[in-house]
Structure 1
């Protein structure tokens, strides 16, 4: 007899899984625990079997020479993936050439090579394949940021060499499978947030010269079978070996090795190689020699295997001499010191101590020899010594007073430096999202190390510490400074006392009280003589958003923030759709989306909502520079006074913009990047 209660308990555990993973496949699922259908016995199987369309929510994320790539949701696997299709202009004659990349990638199974999930033919008879959705950023984006002085701490030269070594692993594996990439460049390498390195885009790859025993599927990867079908796929000239530019030349691993040398040159110098890379005087001699060998004009002078280049990189990172640098006693000694820095330092320290003791012993020996002679003169020198002692005492007192004054001046400079550093990290445009709490904690620690000097109660250092606690809504810690007699600006003290009792159990204000605090800081009302503290309110807004999870609460706060900075906003409307990351604004009088008072404008008023789609129709918005910092993919500017698109010229995330007919000159539209689609008209 069936134990119905045990079955019911099993079904309860499965319900949550089915609801979360396959909700879109079975929206009409009737909840209940009666064993009356297959849904009750095998819910996962039934949910998957009902899925008619596997890939949903297609969103264009890239377009290349032969294919376009979409971000899709895989309903059966319950994950997002990248789906590639041939460009619409390509006919059936090109389909095999398109699928060639998928088959080539499928034969490569390596942690540093992008994974292929699926391939097939859609309902329209056009081929497609799906692959791992690349997370993180391309190595080209990293290099561009480094060229601007950004991410220098995140990507020092050692980490860049580690990334390069991962690429070597991937290419070495591909060569072992008889596959050449032939288009190695920063754009085709992605770096994840947790150290992942992925080599992508094997569309130009080839299988090396035919060998006896090749299978039919391997032979089908031979580019000679496709003729002109692959002529449109071209490599990157600055990364191509000289012999690779001759299409008749047999493809060899040395072509990939040449590109690896160019990649290593750009990663270390941040300069795009123009022709054969030249030796950079700033590079370590070993690295310069590796680049020179990898990019030699004659393929026979290059590394013959990628593993040789990777081994040299490994030896360099581990402070051993490489195969390409001339050996010398001085070089080997320097490398030995790097490998055993601590032991060498201890040894040198011991030698220094020993030398000091020897010198001290020799001095004492010499002094003892003169003691007998000095005894005769002591009585005569005693009187002179007494007079000299008085002079020295006066000189010592003067020196003490001077050193004391210098010490006090040094302390004051240290306090001022700590205040300036705190102001910098709290005012910096880079302090957004998760970086902000750590920066504030660092500033508090630095201030605390200076406050041990116990400066005067009216020192700005105490005010700066109060300011940081206030920003984090830690009103209790801020008011302790006031209780200890520190001089703090009255309006901030007033607000801290007013809002301390209103905090919730988690130590933060609820949405209504937080909005009230923003209004008090920016507009005034409860305290008659306070300053308009727009910069402080903006920082509090960003910090507060890191813990406030409700999209509705964030939307209310952003709406009030926009209203504070647009006092003439009439018929105001703000709608945020979290699922589609869409923000829609309406209402007359809305002209700015950046803070309009209290210092330089830096951060968009809707920043904390992280919109991907922004609809500004029927508003008075007039300056696109107010959208700086937003990673928008779609922007609707119809029925707005916008007539200058120049702030969008450097935009890298925007994919579509809606404009009215004749809203902006055609010359401006023509200047926009090709990645931005312009849709004209009211519909």
Structure 2
């Protein structure tokens, strides 16, 4: 007995059906092989087709969810599409004469295909001969419910001003699209706008809308959608007077986009004040002047004085949210300065902080210089008196000389203290962690000027001030000036002198190094790390300074790749790519273990600068790397980050990344606690 005869085939379940289909396809050339695997019915082959073909009634489970001027709306189950939808049909009291007026809304909605406009699914005639149409089922709340909730204090945290303005922008997008399709809404109000739980915004109820006629070639379908054609048949679907422009109340007036713009102005006013639109000028006194001016311009009685396009109204709201002045205000210099500070709060704070530190250092230096000169004058006076007294008493002369020598030593100690202060000041203002872009050349120049004021005391050749001066010239690749110090007999570290001599020969007539030679210089600097760990700090500053002189993105990409490889010596530099158009950096390889350089003596609260700093990527993809933390993101304004398949589990460094919008992680990589701490603006994508 064969196996097929011993065990009857399983003729039930999806696996059996799949087995039957596979056998039928691959064994039909030999009918004997199909014995025992016969197909039972069409349901086994095409179950979806058979299920749909048996549906007699498509829309089931009618549940009344709303009633308007002309229609009733039911929540129904679409058996063919296996989803719930909203089904609208005329109210029972309306006869056949009203059916075309009812179908206007469906035809208008069918003309529009936009993510912020409700979707039309189907339209037809039921078994009783009455028309119907189905639409996307609106989930969430109407904007009217949202405003009521905010006024009660229940949703003010969920819908702050900036989110209300973002909702308004999406409504502007929908109306602007409709206008581009020559469709006017003419009944814009909070009741006709729905807000979903996940940021969706839908503009609904286009029953009052019209299709604007073209100049001469108005089509028949356009004429049939004109509400004036139906006369009293549409009296039950009038607009809302407080949202209607003055000219819209006159039915004889030609319908224009400026009528919708007036309604949008009323909607914006209610979103700002949480009160119904009014002509009272005091209603907007507590609103930001720029937004108040925007509302007033949109609701001007004369249509020619309003915004002429809905895009212009949206642009002013966008400018306000971005921290710029709007087109309808005449901002003073003080307001422009305040807006500038709001847009660049972090940069301005750093600049003010640096200026304060600089002022303090200069004041301290001037005070110390004055004290030193005063002490020198006093010491000279005492010496002269001691010399005069020596004529009368050798003992007094010796005592005076001893006091003079003591004061001289004290003066020398103060001079040495000032030298050390100048060196520390130079290191402080050229710290790469405190500088941003073009600030470094100015800081280096300031440090050199500061040191020159100390050199006038003619420090000894072994003084550290000469090494600091050499250091600053070396940093800017001014090897001629650096080597001049060594030739003058100043005591300079030999490794730096040898590097300056070596790479001086590679400079062109303008004193520049090629990208290959500059990378070689950085590698030579970092070779001294075991004995001279501070050389890595010098290399980091040289890379930032050099990036300001090179305009080639390809050169910056090569320098960055080499810098990463220097700090990850076992990593393959071929696993690096940069797309300048999308500002995307992609890194791969388990040997990539850090995106920052470790320096000795760095304080715990000093965040190390990212190795990618000079590229300034907006998107960073570090999938499948050996990174274990996000410490190396300092100085980057990332908008998207991919950390899938890494050991990263701490998102603390991202909590203050205000530009971050998208984060890709692997399933189970991070705890819910960390994800909940992320700002609402960050969208998390989870997948392999």
What TM-score, normalized to structure 1? Answer: 0.49
| Larger gyration radius, structure 1 or structure 2 | 2
